[in-house]
Amino acid sequence: MTAPPDTPAVSTHRRFLKVIACEIALREICHAVAQSPSLVDLEFLPQGLHDTPTRGRDEIQRRLDAVPAGKYDAVLIGYGLCSSILKDLCARDTRLVIPRAHDCITFFLGSKERYQQCFTERPGTYYFTAGWLEVRQRRDGEGTAGHGGFMPANSAAALQLDYQHWVAKYGEDQARYLMEVMAGWSTRYTHGTLIDFDFTRPLRCREEVERVCQEKGWQFEALEGDLSLLRRWLNGDWTENDFLVVPPGRSVVPSFDEGVIACSRMSPADGHQDRASTA
């Protein structure tokens, strides 16, 4: 049976996408991938690359440079600006698609606008997700003894483990700097908020975060998560307001405005990139 003449043709092309993302969002991205029509190859990198943004960016760029030319319709970068870890990240042969996000909390709240609203209404909030609770177990088993795989941010035991890890990885001077920064944050928090999803509730994250809040003297809250941003990212609904599409030969720069990130410009005179940014 043939379709009527006025029936539009249905495209059989399914986007083939490569995702390079932080392991913090592993469960949420995998859940969204399972519901996406796109074909997706996933690559997750260890949490903590933004501790030293230059090295973190170099590691992401190394993974990008290993992507075969012409294989994917786009490479999706699962990082926020995160201490400028995206700055100067370059698209080689394949365009990049990056959510406009200051950090990964935006991924779990559904938009940069909701992120801003939450931070404005409740400053001094430490946000938790399943990934944040699991990351120490996934990262070489650190911090598992007696703490269910997670220790409250800036607790003495947690900072000591982090300090030892940073010394081995980055050297003593950088480790001392990170220690000072992390210790200073603890005085600013008054609330611990779990960004909750129905598919992570069997993990009993709520009980763990309530325990952390009790130990820290924080007020516990639960906030309904929203995967709509990640779903549109994976489905190819790349609206300019929510995503930056970086063409081959261009790189990422901070925009210092509500767009968060932008593309570098190409100089028409010599084809070289300058540092001026456009949305």
Taking only the tens of pLDDT, the chain with its 279 residues reads 454 555 444 345 799 999 999 999 999 999 999 999 999 999 999 988 877 888 999 999 999 999 999 999 999 999 998 878 999 999 999 999 999 999 899 999 999 999 999 988 988 898 999 998 988 666 655 443 333 333 434 444 445 556 666 787 778 887 777 777 666 655 678 999 999 999 999 999 999 999 999 998 999 999 999 999 999 999 999 999 999 999 999 999 999 899 999 999 763 334 444 544 444
Identify the pLDDT of residue 220.
Answer: 97
Find out whether 49 and 85 touch, Cβ atoms under 8 Å. Answer: yes
CA distance 21 to 99: 11
Find out whether 33 and 17 touch, Cβ atoms under 8 Å. Answer: no
What is the helix (H) or strand (E) element at residue 176, kind and residue range?
A: helix 172-185
Identify the pLDDT of residue 225.
Answer: 97
Torsion angle (degrees, nearest 10) of CA 259, 264, 268, 269: 140
Type of residue numbered 38 = S
Residue boundaries of the structural domains of the chain: 16-105+228-278, 110-224
Identify the pLDDT of residue 276.
Answer: 45
Torsion angle (degrees, nearest 10) of CA 22, 27, 31, 33: 30
CA distance 211 to 221: 12
What is the helix (H) or strand (E) element at residue 207, kind and residue range?
A: helix 205-216
Q: What is the pTM of this model?
A: 0.78
CA distance 258 to 99: 13
Token couple for 212: 């952390």
Q: Smallest Cα–Cα separation from 166: which of 200, 185, 188, 139? A: 139
Identify the pLDDT of residue 49.
Answer: 85
How many C-beta atoms lie closer than 10 Å to residue 124's C-beta? 12
Q: Which SS3 state, helix, strand or coil, does residue 224 take?
A: strand
What phi, psi does 101 have (nearest 5°)? Answer: -150, 135
Identify the pLDDT of residue 242.
Answer: 98
What is the helix (H) or strand (E) element at residue 221, kind and residue range?
A: strand 219-224
Identify the pLDDT of residue 159.
Answer: 56
How many C-beta atoms lie closer than 10 Å to residue 157's C-beta? 13
Q: Smallest Cα–Cα separation from 201: which of 171, 224, 228? A: 224
Q: Smallest Cα–Cα separation from 98: which of 278, 268, 243? A: 243
